[in-house]
Amino acid sequence: MNTLLDTLGYFGFIFLELVLLFLSISTVVALVLQYIPHDKLQKLLGRKGPTGYLLSAILGSVTPFCACSTVPMTLGLLNAGVRIGPIMTFLLVSPLLNPIIVGMVWTLMGWKACLIYFIVCFFTALAGGWIMQILRTDRYVRKIVERKTSGCCDDNTQETATIGFKAKLKSAFKTAYSDLLSVLVYLVIGTAIGAVIYGYIPQEWVLKLAGPDNVFSIPIAALLGIPLYIRTESAIPIGLALAQKGMNLGAVIALIIGGAGMAIPEMSMLLSIFKARVVAGIVALVFLTAVIGGYMFNYFLT
């Protein structure tokens, strides 16, 4: 009974914390995005030189783009003539970094873990985009047709340009609430799995499979994470529970990055834009990011 109560208490506390964090950060981001037209974002990313890469990484790390908005944004950038390097940087950083994810990592793992996570994902995305540019992966872009976005991807900047701040804030909260409903099942599942791990999985099992003495735990966790596809909203509470059971933090981060870095729906949509070798290259870069991040965490935080 005590174990069950501890498990339920863990679930309730973590779930409530994540929901409040998600709503507050999403509302702020949705409010800011009402002042920034999508066509302006595309022009910024089209700048030549290192500026294009940097702006792409910043855009991906401050906007909560999901797969349904990342791919249409990619199509818009391709049709606008943006170089393939900055586009790839945006694709790599977008699912791994945004204010919601960064806030979750900070709250649940601490500011040092958050800083390392941000630095690894941000700069590996910059390097990955540059490598894709050097390899001239633009040769493997399929014939594309500009598509209009819909749903969460609509550009409603013009509609909100004439309304007041209170109305925009209300609209931003509605957007945040809608986004929360779309990921709520992942939050519940992830937190529930984490609570079961916290309450019932023996610590000795976790230490044996992915403890600090297993030198291969990080690449194994990265390999397991990619095909599993764990949304970051689910992966973070699972990873937190595994870390509390003794799983080394590097393996936890590798699992989170590998699982969240390339969504299966996004991968299938990308295959309609790029040939398979390009998508395979993106997956390889996500794997390298997970491994590098895992070893960086172990080096600096243990």
Higher pLDDT, 162 or 137: 137
| C-alpha separations of 229 from 20, 195, 232, 264 in Å | 24, 20, 9, 7
* Cβ proximity of 45 and 76 under 8 Å: no
Per-residue pLDDT at 237 exceeds 90: no
pLDDT in tens, 151-191: 444 444 445 556 778 888 888 888 888 877 866 776 787 67
Per-domain boundaries in the chain = 2-301
pLDDT at residue number 47: 72
* Cβ proximity of 259 and 225 under 8 Å: yes
Write down the mean pLDDT value for the chain: 76
pLDDT in tens, 20-39: 877 887 787 678 767 766 66
pLDDT in tens, 74-91: 766 776 677 889 889 988
pLDDT in tens, 188-219: 876 787 677 667 766 566 556 666 667 778 88
Instruction: Work out the percent of the chain whose per-residue pLDDT is above 90.
Output: 10
User: Which string of DSSP letters, residue by residue, matches 70-85?
Assistant: HHHHHHHHHHTT--HH
Strand runs (DSSP E) across 158-214, as ranges?
none
The model's pTM is 0.68
Per-residue pLDDT at 150 exceeds 50: no
pLDDT at residue number 153: 45
pLDDT at residue number 76: 63
Instruction: Work out the percent of the chain whose per-residue pLDDT is above 70.
Output: 70
